[in-house]
Amino acid sequence: MLPDGALLPTLLTLKVASLATLFAFVCGIAIAFVLARREFVGKEGLDALLTLPMVLPPTVLGYYLVVLFGRNGWIGHWLDGQFGYSLIFTWQGAVVAAAIVSLPLILKSARAAYEGVDRNYEDAARTLGQSELAIFVRVTFPLAWRGILAGTLLGFARAMGEFGATLMIAGNLPGKTQTLSLAIYDAVQAGEDALANSLVLITSIVCVVVLVGSSQILKVRHF
C-alpha cells in the first residue's frame, strides 16, 4: 500500500516520537509536580530553562546538542572515550532532540493541571496516613490526568514534526535517522514530487488520527 521509500521513515518516526514522548512524559510529570508543590530558590528559573526549547529556534537547539554531544563536545567526548559511543547520526540522537522539544509542552500542561487540583483532597489523604508517593499516585495524578494527557498528545505531535534539531544531531540518513519530515525535505530537494506527496499525505493522516484519538480519550471521564 505504501510507496517505496515511505514505510521506513513512517515506522522510524513513530518509534522516535513514541520513545521521545515517553521520556518527556516521565521527566515532565515528575518535574512539573515539584514545580507545582514545592517552593525553592530558582524555581521559576528552572521552569524558564526547561521551557526554552519551545521558544528557541530549532537550529539553536540543534547547535547546543551538537556542542554537547558531538565527538568533541563535553558529553560526547566522554561518551566516546568511555563507551566508544556517539549520539551523532543515530536514531537515539533523534529521540534526544525530539524529547527535548516535547518536554516543555508536557511540563507546562502538567504543572497547570497539578495547580488546578484542590489541595484539600491531598490534605485529606495525608490525614489518613497516606505516603507522599501514594498521594501523588492515588489523588493528584488521577485528578490532573486530563490536562497531562492533552499536553502529552501535543508533545507527541511536536516530536513527530521535529526537523531542525534532528537534522543537526541525527543527520539525514535514509533508513537510519530519516524521519518523515526529513524524508519530505529530501524528496523535495531531489525533485521527487510523487514521493513527497505520499509522505505528506501519511504525515497528515497520522496527525489527524492522533487528534481524533485524543478527543475520544478525553471523552472518557475516569480511568
Partner 1 sequence: MRIGLDSKWLLMLVFAVLPVRAEEVVVSAAASLTNAFKEVGTAFEKTQAEAKVTFNFAASGPLLQQIENGAPVDVFVSADQETMNAAEKKQLTIPATRRNFVSNQLVLVQPKAGSPLKGIGDLANDTVRRIAIGNPASVPVGRYTREVLQAERLWDSVQPRVINADSVRQVLDYVARGEVDAGFVYATDAAIATEKVTVVGTISTPRPVVYPIAVVSTSRRTKLAESFIAFVLAPEAQSILRKYGFAKP
Residues that bind partner 1 (CB under 8 A): 66, 70-72, 86, 88-89, 171-174, 186, 188-192
**Closer residue to partner 1 (CB): 22 or 188:** 188
Cα torsion through 74, 180, 18, 31, rounded to 10: 50
According to DSSP, residue 88 is labeled T
**Closer residue to partner 1 (CB): 92 or 172:** 172
To partner 1, the closest distance from the beta carbon of 86 in angstroms equals 8
**Closer residue to partner 1 (CB): 42 or 84:** 84
**Closer residue to partner 1 (CB): 77 or 146:** 77
Rounded to 5°, angle at Cα 31 from 214 and 83: 100
Return d(Cα 79, Cα 188) in angstroms, integer.
35
Q: Which amino acid is at 131?
A: S
**Closer residue to partner 1 (CB): 140 or 198:** 198
Tell me the three cell numbers of residue 25.
512524559
DSSP string, 100-146: HHHHHHHHHHHHHHHHTS-HHHHHHHHHTT--HHHHIIIIIHHHHHH
To partner 1, the closest distance from the beta carbon of 195 in angstroms equals 11
To partner 1, the closest distance from the beta carbon of 27 in angstroms equals 27
To partner 1, the closest distance from the beta carbon of 67 in angstroms equals 10
To partner 1, the closest distance from the beta carbon of 187 in angstroms equals 9
CB atoms near residue 178 (< 10 Å): 25
